[in-house]
Amino acid sequence: MASATRTRRARPAARRTAAHSDILYPLNLAYAQAGVPLPVTREISPKDIPFPYRSLLVHENDMTLTLERHFGGAVFLRTLSTVAKGSWYLRRVLLVQEYSGRPVEMGAIRIRIDGLPPRTRALILRHEIPLGRVLRDAGVDFRSQPRAFFSVVPNQEMMGVFWMREPRTLYGRQTEVFQGGTKLGDIVEVLPLV
């Protein structure tokens, strides 16, 4: 009986490790919760990312600001799904151009919100403002550290949110977000056709 108990406890830990090591983490968690099949992805070198994707992905800047500069205006948040569990918050979002509603990024973030100031936490949980803008406006000293870059053949769901008629290769990155020396969370960012 004791060995059966150890086996049951070991399996969830192994699943967590696999989920966290997936190049689409934390998007893979949001898709699994929604029952959406994962798109086909392949890790690639930053030098293999074509322009303009490379200039939009290969940097350590805030992605919200990078997209706003590239598209020449504010981007807004459309929330696709959220999960709050303890001190962790997971959301999948679409960033869209203010003036056209055109999608400019789909992202998923898993962030530890209990270490943020109460007002910043409340703004994040309202699901109205992109994370980068919330943190910047609150004066939170944060940085984005890309961990991996990938190409992706979108699934049907991703094609729908990006207004695509047929699957074409897209590009994205997996990023860690830090406040000082403390890791706040993980983000996956996928760009539509640009």
Listed by start position, the domains of the chain span 2-191
Cα 59–151–19 angle (5° rounding)?
90
64-93 as b/e: b if 16+ CB within 10 A: bebbbeebeeebbbeebeeeeeeeebbbbb
Query: Please, which pLDDT band fits residue 19 given cuts at 50, 70 and 90?
Result: low
> Does pLDDT of 55 surpass 70?
yes
> Does pLDDT of 11 surpass 60?
no
**What homologous superfamily is domain 2-191 in, according to CATH?**
Chorismate lyase-like (3.40.1410.10)
Read off the pTM.
0.87
Mean pLDDT in residue range 105-122? 93
Query: Please, which pLDDT band fits residue 20 given cuts at 50, 70 and 90?
Result: low
Tokens of 80: 């696709």
Beta-carbon contacts of residue 111 (< 8 Å; ≥ 6 apart): 88, 89, 90, 124, 131, 177, 184, 185, 186
Evaluate whether 190 touches 176 at the Cβ level (below 8 Å): no
The pLDDT score that the predictor gives to residue 21 is 65
pLDDT per position as a tens digit, 114-142: 888 999 999 999 999 999 999 989 888 88
Tokens of 89: 């918050």
Of 189, 184, 188, 177, give the one whose Cα is nearest residue 143.
Answer: 177
> Does pLDDT of 7 surpass 80?
no
The pLDDT score that the predictor gives to residue 62 is 87
